[in-house]
């Protein structure tokens, strides 16, 4: 067990990947000598050279598109998009090409590309640097989407993403890059299936489903609720596509109440999908409607008011109050 | 602020300009805006300071092969158009007029090269030994691909314009890495022949950002890729003049690699220029842009009507530059082919058409279970859940007969 930050854990995960698999390579803007704007690739170009850690031209479509070509040639590219809001110039390549190459080739071609995207708000940044576009990709068949919330997951999930034969987008919660935690780098057995959810806090009265940056928020809300005598179960989704509905269903059948929270706008978001599925699967177990907590239907607001936008402990507690009101 | 205030640490603009000009001239023997033409519309073969050497590699058999390929693909094109009119294909993308650009360039590639086409490269597909009946599956609506690119190194058609161009550059970057890995492992002069990538796109697609990004990447990494632009003058109804104010081949200079404009209706020139470009790329000298100056004689697809956007006199003018006619004149004049040869080619075309017709009729809808199976490589719970639902739902209709006819 070693203690490290999420940023360091991803760095170590990438280092392990580059060491173990000569066909893996990293590509993106400023990931070389600078080590990425969040220093996630710090030191890797020195160890592995510019063929394995490729500083690319400033061109997101080019980055994703050439990653697809490299994957077609048998390579395992890990492409970094510098910030969430900059993925859109590459959106066409991701949704019309990357997601569909296996299907349109009738299974003959595989494109095991990994795309890393720092996402989410709460860092006081400027426009296009705080968005949560995960639902736009989750809606696209052919992609897998995961998001770690702690260093141990971050270390293992990036490696598992590279080993997955399908394209995987890893949304990295940028405001948690400096969150420290224990990482078991020794035992491969300690790595959970990256597409399974984790129950990170057990409870009996209500379930809160969250992922990525909101996991610590939900845990704090659950602790606060405990002071009022409410036992809240918290599920860290980990995978946004596919979603581990079995884990959520099992929890709801125990607690009878469900709150889903994410930073992305509520409308059309992952929370709505979870609410609908759980209503189908466990309607008779629900004591109350599924309550969603999310961002408002507006472009991510300016930093000075982002605290009003982001779901926080109080917003989750308010949602719990509403579910207990039934 | 004048130029004197600009940073001077990168490079001297004038020097680079001269260098590129010299590089292009050295390759072409002429200024780069001039079009390379060897076989004129009258069927006479001219000379070129650089490319005549490549023509010397062609013997009568190869030239007859070019003709046979061009005739075969034109016949195939006619048959596919007819099949679309009969309702057997949802859409067809005719290539008539562009046979020389495609056969000339495709025949210049080697088996180890990898080709990324757009969606009109039926002639290139022929040169890569793709079963043309499989090529029609996409247009019949029974597949989004139809062939296995690994069999022929001919990638699937891409309908999103220019999206394949960065794939080509990435693939070429992979080739570079393969070579370096082999060298690092001490594989002396590796048994694998050196490979290059060729990517096709049109004058319309040249306006897409992906072409720009691809050329930046290709140049930055000196990737072994040949950009083959078929300037067929019309992006559906929009003329080339709306895409560019300069010859498209000139754009290469802005990226720092050679651009060549070639008469795209001259199969001999196209072949020579493409051989040169592919050798240039394979030898590690970086990318090349070829602009094949040609013309799409028919419609963009069977869905549009060229009479609405261009004069028939323009088509007539280009018909006079027909790529098949001029090679036929040359072959006959040089005594390389006789009447029997042309009769044989025509008969083979009819055979191909009959095969295509028969195969198309027999090409049936796939089972939707294959679509479930191919969405992901690895097991996926949502796909499994939806497939299970589908199986149960289908079984309800078939009276317990395992969902026969499901998905049809």
CA A17 to CA A114: how far, in whole Å? 12
Q: Give the distance from residue B335's alpha carbon to the nearest chain A alpha carbon, in angstroms.
A: 45
Instruction: Convert the pLDDT of each residue in A193-249 to its tens digit.
Output: 999 999 999 999 999 999 999 999 999 999 999 999 999 999 999 999 999 999 999
Contact call for B166 and A62, based on CB within 8 A: yes
Contact call for A62 and B213, based on CB within 8 A: yes
A279: phi then psi, degrees, rounded to nearest 5: -65, -35
Beta bridge partners, A259, equal A208, A291
B373: phi then psi, degrees, rounded to nearest 5: -70, -30
Chain B residues with beta carbon closer than 8 angstroms to that of A142:
375-376
Q: Give the distance from residue B36's alpha carbon to the nearest chain A alpha carbon, in angstroms.
A: 31
List, as own/partner pairs, every contact residues B250-255 make where C-beta atoms lie below 8 angstroms and the sequence separation is at least 24, other chains included. B250/B32, B250/B33, B251/B206, B251/B215, B251/B289, B252/B215, B252/B227, B252/B287, B252/B288, B252/B289, B253/B20, B253/B21, B253/B24, B253/B32, B255/B215, B255/B216, B255/B218, B255/B219, B255/B287, B255/B289
Largest alpha-carbon pair distance within chain B? 84
Contact call for A61 and B213, based on CB within 8 A: yes
Largest alpha-carbon pair distance within chain A? 60
Structure token digits, residue A316 = 């989750």
Phi-psi region of A201 (alpha: psi -120 to 50; beta: other; left: phi over 0): beta
Q: Is B30 on the interface with A (CB under 8 A)?
A: no
Q: Is B375 on the interface with A (CB under 8 A)?
A: yes
Kindly report the pTM of this predicted structure.
Answer: 0.94
Residue A137 confidence (pLDDT) above 70? yes
Q: Which residue of B has its CA nearest to A240?
A: B382
CA B204 to CA B194: how far, in whole Å? 31
- CA distances A232 to A150, A251, A285, Å, are 20, 10, 16
**Catalytic pick among A129, A152, A262, A297:** A129
Q: Is A129 tagged catalytic?
A: yes
User: In this complex, which of A100, A104, A108 lies closest to B150 when CB atoms are compared?
Assistant: A108
Mean pLDDT within A4-14: 98
SS3 content of chain B, % helix, strand, coil (to 5): 50, 10, 40
Q: Is A189 on the interface with B (CB under 8 A)?
A: no
Mean of per-residue pLDDT scores for chain A? 97
Structure token digits, residue B376 = 């992901």
C-alpha R_g of chain A: 19
Q: Which residue of B has its CA nearest to A27?
A: B170
Q: Give the distance from residue A226's alpha carbon to the nearest chain B alpha carbon, in angstroms.
A: 34
Contact call for B165 and A67, based on CB within 8 A: no
Q: What contacts B217, CB < 8 A, 6 or more positions away?
A: A56, A57, A59, A62, A66, B166, B169, B170, B173, B223
What 3-state class would DSSP assign to A295? strand
Query: Do residues A216 and A150 touch, judged by C-beta distance below 8 A?
Result: no
pLDDT of residue A192: 86
Q: Give the distance from residue A51's alpha carbon to the nearest chain B alpha carbon, in angstroms.
A: 7
pLDDT of residue A233: 98
Query: Considering only A65-74, A87-96, B178-187, which range has the smallest mean pLDDT?
Result: B178-187
Beta bridge partners, B292, equal B230, B262
Chain B residues with beta carbon closer than 8 angstroms to that of A165:
377-378
Instruction: Convert the pLDDT of each residue in A142-193 to its tens digit.
Output: 999 999 999 999 999 999 999 999 999 999 999 999 999 999 998 766 678 9
Query: Do residues B240 and A84 touch, judged by C-beta distance below 8 A?
Result: no
Contact call for A106 and B377, based on CB within 8 A: no
Q: Give the distance from residue B207's alpha carbon to the nearest chain A alpha carbon, in angstroms.
A: 15
Mean pLDDT, each 10-residue run in order, chain B (408 residues) = 45 56 62 83 95 96 98 98 97 98 98 98 98 97 96 98 98 96 74 90 97 98 98 96 94 96 98 98 97 96 95 94 98 97 98 98 95 97 97 85 46
Q: Give the distance from residue B298's alpha carbon to the nearest chain A alpha carbon, in angstroms.
A: 28
Q: Is B175 on the interface with A (CB under 8 A)?
A: yes
- Read off the DSSP letter of residue B154: B
User: In this complex, which of B146, B167, B216 lies closest to A69 when CB atoms are compared?
Assistant: B167
Chain B residues with beta carbon closer than 8 angstroms to that of A67:
170
CA B196 to CA B282: how far, in whole Å? 5
Kindly give the interhelix angle for B99-106 and B323-333, rounded to the nearest 10 degrees. Answer: 70
Cα A300 → chain centroid:
18
pLDDT of residue B187: 65
User: In this complex, which of B150, B160, B214 lies closest to A92 when CB atoms are compared?
Assistant: B160
CA neighbor of A29 nearest in space, from A110, A111, A112, A89: A89
Interface of B with A in 216-275 (CB under 8 A): 216-217, 220
Of the pLDDT bands very low, low, confident and very high (cuts 50, 70, 90), residue A288 is very high
Of the pLDDT bands very low, low, confident and very high (cuts 50, 70, 90), residue A115 is very high
B36: phi then psi, degrees, rounded to nearest 5: -80, 120
Beta bridge partners, B295, equal none
Q: Is B156 on the interface with A (CB under 8 A)?
A: yes
- Read off the DSSP letter of residue A97: I
Chain A residues with beta carbon closer than 8 angstroms to that of B130:
none
Cα B257 → chain centroid:
20
What 3-state class would DSSP assign to B358? helix
Instruction: For tokens 């579910």, name the residue.
Output: A323
User: In this complex, which of A68, A142, A243 lies closest to B170 when CB atoms are compared?
Assistant: A68
Interface of B with A in 309-348 (CB under 8 A): none
Chain A residues with beta carbon closer than 8 angstroms to that of B178:
73
Q: Is B210 on the interface with A (CB under 8 A)?
A: yes
Count how many residues are written for chain A.
326
Contact call for A22 and B143, based on CB within 8 A: no
Chain B residues with beta carbon closer than 8 angstroms to that of A100:
144
């Amino acid at each position: 067990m070693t203690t490290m930050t999420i940023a360091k854990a991803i760095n170590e995960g990438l280092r392990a990947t580059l060491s173990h698999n000569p066909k893996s390579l990293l590509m993106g803007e400023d990931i070389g000598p600078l080590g990425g704007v969040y220093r996630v690739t710090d030191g890797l170009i020195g160890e592995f050279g510019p063929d394995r850690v490729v500083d690319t031209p400033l061109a997101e479509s080019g980055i994703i598109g050439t990653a697809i070509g490299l994957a077609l040639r048998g390579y395992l590219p890990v492409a970094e998009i510098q910030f969430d809001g900059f993925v859109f110039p590459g959106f066409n390549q991701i949704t019309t090409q990357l997601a569909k190459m296996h299907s349109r080739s009738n299974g003959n071609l595989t494109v095991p590309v990994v795309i890393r995207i720092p996402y989410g708000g709460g860092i006081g940044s400027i426009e296009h640097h705080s968005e949560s576009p995960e639902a736009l990709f989750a809606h696209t068949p052919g992609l897998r989407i995961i998001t770690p919330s702690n260093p141990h997951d971050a270390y293992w999930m990036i490696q598992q993403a590279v080993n997955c034969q399908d394209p995987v987008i890893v949304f990295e919660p940028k405001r948690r890059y400096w969150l420290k935690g224990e990482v078991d780098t020794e035992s491969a057995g300690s790595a959970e299936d990256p597409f399974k959810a984790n129950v990170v806090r057990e409870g009996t009265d209500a379930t809160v489903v969250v992922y990525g940056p909101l996991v610590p928020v939900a845990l704090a809300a659950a602790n606060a609720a405990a002071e009022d005598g409410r036992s809240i179960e918290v599920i860290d989704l980990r995978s946004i596509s596919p979603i581990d509905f079995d884990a959520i269903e099992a929890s709801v059948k125990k607690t009878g109440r469900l709150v889903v929270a994410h930073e992305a706008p509520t409308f059309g978001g992952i929370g709505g999908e979870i609410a609908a599925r759980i209503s189908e699967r466990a309607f008779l177990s629900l004591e109350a409607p599924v309550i969603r907590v999310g961002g408002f239907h507006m472009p991510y607001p300016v930093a000075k008011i982002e605290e009003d936008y982001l779901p926080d402990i109080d917003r989750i507690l308010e949602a719990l109050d509403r579910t207990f009101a039934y | 602020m004048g130029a004197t205030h600009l940073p001077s640490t990168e490079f001297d603009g004038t020097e680079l300009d001269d260098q590129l000009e010299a590089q292009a001239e050295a390759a072409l023997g002429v200024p780069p805006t001039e079009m390379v033409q060897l076989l004129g519309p009258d069927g006479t073969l001219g000379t070129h300071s650089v490319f005549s050497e490549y023509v010397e590699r062609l013997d009568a058999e190869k030239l007859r092969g070019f003709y046979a390929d061009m005739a075969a693909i034109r016949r195939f094109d006619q048959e596919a158009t007819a099949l679309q009119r009969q309702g057997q294909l949802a859409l067809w993308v005719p290539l008539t007029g562009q046979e020389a650009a495609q056969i000339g360039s495709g025949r210049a590639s080697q088996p180890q090269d990898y080709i990324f086409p757009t969606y009109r490269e039926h002639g290139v597909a022929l040169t890569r030994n793709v079963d043309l009946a499989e090529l029609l599956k996409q247009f019949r609506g029974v597949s989004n691909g139809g062939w296995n690119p690994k069999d022929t190194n001919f990638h699937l058609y891409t309908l999103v314009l220019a999206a394949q161009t960065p794939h080509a550059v990435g693939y070429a970057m992979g080739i570079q890495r393969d070579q370096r890995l082999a060298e690092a492992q001490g594989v002396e002069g590796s048994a694998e022949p050196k490979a290059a990538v060729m990517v096709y796109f049109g004058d319309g697609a040249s306006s897409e950002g992906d072409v720009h990004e691809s050329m930046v990447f290709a140049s930055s990494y000196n990737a072994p890729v040949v950009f083959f632009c078929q300037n067929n003058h019309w992006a559906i109804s929009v003329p080339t003049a709306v895409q560019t104010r300069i010859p498209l081949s000139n754009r290469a200079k802005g990226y720092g690699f050679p651009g060549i404009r070639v008469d795209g209706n001259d199969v001999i020139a196209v072949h020579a220029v493409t051989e040169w470009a592919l050798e240039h790329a394979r030898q590690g000298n970086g990318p090349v842009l070829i602009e094949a100056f040609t013309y799409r004689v028919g419609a963009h697809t069977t869905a549009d009507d060229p009479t609405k956007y261009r004069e028939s006199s323009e088509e007539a003018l280009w018909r006079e530059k027909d790529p098949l006619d001029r090679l036929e004149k040359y072959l006959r004049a040089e005594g390389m082919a006789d009447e029997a040869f042309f009769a044989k080619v025509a008969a083979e075309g009819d055979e191909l058409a009959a095969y295509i017709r028969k195969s198309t009729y027999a090409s049936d809808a796939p089972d939707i279970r294959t679509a479930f199976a191919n969405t992901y490589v690895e097991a996926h719970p949502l796909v499994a859940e939806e497939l299970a639902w589908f199986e149960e739902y289908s079984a309800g209709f078939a009276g317990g007969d395992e969902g026969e006819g499901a998905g049809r």
